[in-house]
Amino acid sequence: MSVILPLLAFIAAGAFAAYHRLRLAVWAALTTTLLVACWLLGANLATTIIAVVLVMLIAAPLLIPQIRKPYITTPLLGFYTKLLPPLSDTERTALEAGTVGFEGELFSGKPDWDQLLNLPKPVLTAEEQAFLDGPCETLCRMTDDWDITHVRADLPPELWDYIKRNKFFGLNIPTEYGGLGFSALMNHKVIQKLASLSAVVSSTVGVPNSLGPAEMLMHYGTDEQKQLYLPRLADGREIPCFALTGPFAGSDATSIPDYGIVCMGDWNGINVLGIRLTLNKRYITLAPVATLIGVAFRMYDPDGMLGDKRDIGISLALVPANTPGLDIGRRHFPLNSPFQNGPIHGKDVFVPLSQLIGGEDYAGKGWQMLMELLSIGRSITLPSTASGGSKMGALAVGSYARIRKQFGLSIGRFEGVEEALARLAGNAYACSALSEATAAAVQRGENPAVPSTIAKYHCTEMGRRASMDAMDILGGKGIILGPRNFAGRSWQAAPIAITVEGANIMTRSLMIFGQGAILCHPWVMKEMKSAQLEDPKARIDQFDVAVFGHIGFAISNAVRSWWYGLTGAQIGSAPGDNDTRRYFRKLNRYSAALAVMADTSMLLLGGKLKFKESLSGRLGDVLSQLYIVSAMLKRHQDAGNPAGDQPMLAWAIHDAVNKIETALSGALRNFPIRPVGWLLWVVIFPWGRRAQAPSDRLGHKVASLLMTPCDARERMAAGLYTTPADNNPAGRIISYLPKVIMAEPVERKFLKALKNSDIEALEFDAQLDEGVREGWITSEERVLLEELRAITLDAITVDDFDPEELRSAGYATLHGREDARAAA
């Protein structure tokens, strides 16, 4: 023992210093003190001296800059430079475009939870709330989604007019330019409410307030451009669209073949210097009705009319729809969801240089402009749409599952249905928290590049899963389209959100971790920037700080990850109450595990890591779930830690933690360097995987919440269009739930008596007559049962049509022409 004791002291001091992130000098002093104490307690002198010498050999060269920089830092810099993956200008622009908020803490291995919990609670102003309760509610009352999606394949004229008159296209345009000047949070709330009724209306309103001409002009436009266009965009005199995607440039937007040649041309009868555009775009939302088009193209100056540079680069211009040479107006038909979307073609479309967004000074800066604004739009429209749809679906399907009975039992009582209901509720809760968190980040002035990709991917995936679960529970009610169907169109349209604004497969496998590992990591970006400095002294000095900070960081996270795994994250300081403290501790553990995996992957794989898309996707899953759980815990605190939400919060966090461990396990089992994967498994999972999917017992509690009037349901319904009306079948079903529950005891009593009687009446009304006559039920209870029957019929009834009603106008036109030819 006298021989082993100094070794144990050496290891213990190192682990303690690494866990608490003590400075190297403190570690050296602490270790030396412990070794001397061991010797005084009878430890072997020779072993103690060896341990002290080892401490000195480690500490001395690292603590003395004159030794460390030339003999350690300089070789490390050379190695790092070879390891560093080459970054293209477009990649560098994308990385530098975003800001880093709390998500940066998730890469630290030791998140500062106070930074998250002290963020201001996102709230609407009185004016914003009034708009949500007034014009937005009115727009919902005017919306008939069946008329839009089946009869017209468009919004009716009165809806277009109302949207324009009430400045729904100018939600975020400043009041000085005639807009409403609302916040990003308000943008989220409006889209969420509209999406709870009609995804076509929500996308029609959402796109002009997202990435498009208005947003571009507010950030980069010249004063003249702002004064001319923003008032017209705010009140709907101009309908905008933004044309980026084309047949040969989808996710790889930097390869757009659309081009503009600098030349002289005619503009309003005057010969001016401008650009002659050739473009071929598709999938452009609002294009068929747009009057003002933002166009992304590559700009060339072959005659040197602007200077020596011939390939100026990607640029953005505003093109009026009536510009000669522009072909616009035809429509795509995306999965039976008739929001205005279509192609734009142009040949020799001339616009003056003054139509460049930002003017001539911003020529060639289009990619930078897009990257800086894309995360803002991606943070709001699609996540908010998914949030509104998934929450409305959870509430309506939960009510339906209580109303609809089979085998004498509400279908929501069957365990298989309970499982789907719990998933509906948990995903809706997570989706709502995530979408609000990213909108709040934009409202705080952040440019959340990484959270926006997380929100876009995971909200749309949770929305797709919600549509699937809703259809599984609704059965025939869900698949028969018509005015009574509230789920079918969401099911049809789910892949649209998966595809647009960056295909989800690419977003997950390339963007989330690819951006996060560089932007959010506390040292990687500093190392990359220092390694590229021109001044040799500054390069060495700054790289020295960054690389040794990174080394200490990596050692600390390895120790913390192993310790948390060993203790099951049951020990350690964490915020929260008795219900939530354990969740914060789990996040501490997985934050350290993510940091270890990220550092190991970047060190050993270097530039090859960006081609290891499966590994990148799994690590992106870990980062995403960490962020989602953080958003849920923050939202739970902002709501006052309501006990009624605890089952949904617990379900969603158990689900997220299980996904985290699944992703880590997959990354480790498939790590390209197998021995390293085995070693990391011991560090991250010393006892093996422990997380499990949410239990059936917890799922039962969550499903019960959806089928029972309670404060948790009311909080989920806040901000949605739940008004029961002819145009809102989901709202009607939601409103029926309290009445159904009130009538259930009477129904059970009546059915039991009817079963034990010899009454032969088959008609429901006749059975009720007998029930009152026999004294099974009172006259008042009969009224309750009659109302229950009417409610049930409205909830379960599906639509049917005359065959002629289902024939499109195109069919009639085509066959009318054929009949005319035949008659001739």
Q: Is 167 left (phi over 0), alpha (psi -120 to 50) or beta?
A: left
Catalytic residue among 436, 501, 527, 661: 501
Q: Is the dihedral of CA 656, 657, 658, 663 positive or negative?
A: positive
Strand partners, 285: 341
Grouping H, G, I as helix, E, B as strand and the rest as coil, residue 108 is: coil
How many CB atoms are closer than 10 A to CB 337?
21
Residues 46, 24 contacting (CB under 8 angstroms) = no
Among 771, 795, 796, 797, residue whose Cα is nearest residue 783: 771
Chain centre distance of CA 8: 47
Q: Is 502 left (phi over 0), alpha (psi -120 to 50) or beta?
A: left
Instruction: Work out the burial of residue 475: count CB atoms within 10 Å of its CB; fewer than 13 is exposed, 13-18 middle, 19 or more buried.
Output: middle
Q: Is 770 a catalytic residue?
A: no
Q: What angle do CA 651, 655, 660 make, to 5 degrees?
A: 145
Residues 746, 785 contacting (CB under 8 angstroms) = yes
Residue type, 280: N
DSSP 5: H
Residue type, 574: A
DSSP 41: T
CA distance 709 to 738: 6
* Pairs from 153-160 (Cβ < 8 Å, separation ≥ 24): 153/333, 153/338, 154/338, 154/340, 155/200, 155/201, 155/204, 159/201, 160/236
Secondary structure of 202-258 as H, E, C letters: HHHHHHHHCCCHHHHHHHHCCHHHHHHHHHHHHCCCCCEEEECCECCECCCHHHCCC
Write the DSSP string, 504-553. Answer: HHHIIIIIIHHHHHHHTSTTHHHHHHHHT-SSHHHHHHHHHHHHHHHHHH
Q: Is the dihedral of CA 725, 728, 733, 734 positive or negative?
A: negative
The pair phi, psi for residue 574, each rounded to 5°, is -160, 150
Query: At which residue do the structure tokens 């680069």 appear?
Result: 313
Among 595, 604, 605, 523, residue whose Cα is nearest residue 559: 595
Tokens of 12: 């213990």
CA distance 401 to 393: 12
3-state helix, strand, coil in the chain (%, to 5): 65, 10, 25
Cα→Cα distances 371→300, 624, 817, Å? 21, 20, 50
To which H or E segment does residue 186 belong? helix 184-195
Tokens of 67: 């030794």
Cα→Cα distances 308→276, 300, 315, 366, 700, Å? 19, 11, 17, 19, 70
Grouping H, G, I as helix, E, B as strand and the rest as coil, residue 184 is: helix
* Angle at which helices 135-142 and 184-195 cross, to 10°: 20
Annotated catalytic sites, by residue?
A: 501
